[in-house]
Amino acid sequence: MFITSNGGDNWTYDGKGIYNGQVRTVAIDPMYPDNYFYFAGRNAGGTYKNTTNAIYPWSTFPIQAQGPWDYFSTVNAIAINPNNDGILFMAFSGGGILRSLDGGNHWQTANQGLAATSVTAIVPDPFNPSTVYAATDGSGVFKSTDQGLTWSTYPWARPWDWGVDLAADPATPGKLYLATENYGLGVSLDGGVSWSAINAGLPTAPVAAAPALSPTSPAYPDEETGQAPQAAVATPVISAVVVAPTSPAHTLYAGTWGHGVYKSVNGGSSWTMVDGSTGQVTDIAVYPNDPQSLLASTANLGIIQITNGGANHTILNNTNGLPASLDILSVLINPTTPKTLYAGTPTGIYTSANNGATWSLFGLPTEVVNALAIDPLNQATFYAGTQMDGLLRTNDNGATWASTGIPAGEVDVLTMDPGSRLHLYAGVNGGGVINVNYSMMILSLFIRVITPTPPPAQ
C-alpha cells in the first residue's frame, strides 16, 4: 500500500500492519474522504482498515474470525454506502458478498438469489436418490436432500472448504471422499459433517513459497509478526478422486498434479502408485466392467490408460488422433460399450470406438469442453459442459448440437443421477448447481443456487 499527496508524482509507503503488503483493492469512505479509509486485504490475507489518515495505522477488521471469510480469504472488492458509511459490502473468493451494518464490526452473507458459488464436483448419494452433494471452490461441501431444490452446508473448516473433486463410496452410506487444493484427500463418514485427512502414501510437493523480498523492503520482515516469509510446506497435490463402481469395495483412485495416479484398496488408509508419470491429472474414469482399469485425462500428456491394476500403462495422445495440444479436460467411458471413449478438449470432443487405439472428432470443434455426460439408456443422447456456451446436447450421436436453455457461461461439472436418467446436475462457474429435469423428454430447468449458510448472529 502506497499513498500520494500530489496526484501521483511521488509515493510514500503506507502499508505497515498489512501482512506482507499484498494489496488487492482500496475503498475510501465517501462521507469522510480525508479521515476514513477502508482497505480490502491482500490475496489470501484478511481485511484491514485505516481510520486516521496517517502513515502506518492499519489494523485488521474483526472479519477474520467469522465464518469462511477468515484470515486466508481473498478479498476482491469492498464498497461503502455513500449515504451511510456504517454500511459496507465486501466481495471475496469462494463466498460471494458479505454485508456489515455497523462499520465492519459484524458481517453476514448477502447472497440470497445470487449465483456466486463455483461448483467443482457434484455427487448423487448412491443410497438415497433425493440426496446430492456438491463441492465448491472455497465455500465447503453442500448437501441437498430434495434433488437440488434447496441446499445446506456445515460450518466451514479449512482446508476442507476448497474442494477440487468429490466421490461417494457405493459400499458405505454417508462416506465421502474430497480432494482439496494443496491439502490432499479427506474422508467423511457422516455425509460431510466432519472430515479427516487420508494422505498416507500420497505424493507431496512444495506449495510455492512467498516471493523473495529485499531486506530493505518495508514489507520485509512481516510488519505484524516480525518474521520473514515462511518457507514452502510439503503437502499432497491431488486433483481428482474416484471410487471404483464395482468390487472390490473401497477401491479408490487419486489423480495428482504432476505425479500420476495412485490407488487405495482400503478406503484411503494407505496408497500405492499405479502410474509414475508426470501426468497433471484433470479427470479419472474407471471402466464399468473392470475396476482394475481406468483412464486419466491430463493437461500435459494426453490420456493415461491404466490396466491390470497398474501393471500396464499406455499414453494416448496426438499420435493416434487426439489434438496436438495434449490438453485433455475430461474423459468419459460409454457405460454400455466400454471400448467407446470420449475426451473433452479445448477444441471440441473426440471419440474412440476401439478403446483408444484411434480417435476422431465427435463434435463442437470450436468449443472448450470441460465436462461430459451420456444418457445411460440412450447413447445417442450426449451432453457437453462448455467454457462459453453453457450446456449443449446432441440427440443424434454428435451429428448436431443444440443449447439446453442453460444461460451461456462456463459449465465445469456434469453428473447424471445413476438412479434416474431424468436428472442431470450441472455445476456452473459462479452459478451454483442447475438441475436439468428431462421429464417425458420435455426440458424444464430448475436453477438451484448454492447459498452459504450464514453463521449465528454476533
pLDDT tens figures, 340-399:
999 999 999 999 999 999 999 999 999 999 999 998 778 888 999 998 888 899 999 999
Residue 19 has pLDDT above 80, yes or no: no
pLDDT score at 187: 95
Strand partners, 79: 89
- pLDDT of 240 reads 95
237's CB contacts (< 8 A; 6+ apart) are 182, 184, 203, 204, 205, 256, 257, 258, 259
For the residues 293-320, what does the mean pLDDT come to? 89
Question: What's the pLDDT score for residue 311?
Answer: 86
Percentage above 90 pLDDT, the chain: 29
Residue owning grid cell 488408509: 269
pLDDT at 51: 62
Under the banding of pLDDT at 50, 70 and 90, the label for residue 61 is low
User: Could you tell me which residues come within 8 angstroms of residue 296 by beta carbon, excluding any fewer than 6 positions away?
Assistant: 240, 253, 255, 260, 261, 275, 279, 281, 283, 284, 303, 304, 306, 331
Tell me the per-residue pLDDT of 147-175, one tens digit each, with 9 for 90 and over: 777 778 776 666 677 888 999 998 899 99
Question: pLDDT tens digits for 107-144?
Answer: 776 765 555 567 888 898 888 878 888 888 777 888 88
Residue 448 has pLDDT above 60, yes or no: no
Residue 346: its pLDDT value, please?
93
Of 242, 310, 234, 248, nearest in space to 277 by CA: 310
CA–CA gap between residue 289 and residue 254 (Å, rounded) = 19
pLDDT value of residue 349: 96
> Mind listing the pLDDT tens digit for each residue in 426-439?
887 766 777 766 54
Neighbours of 319 (CB within 10 A): 9
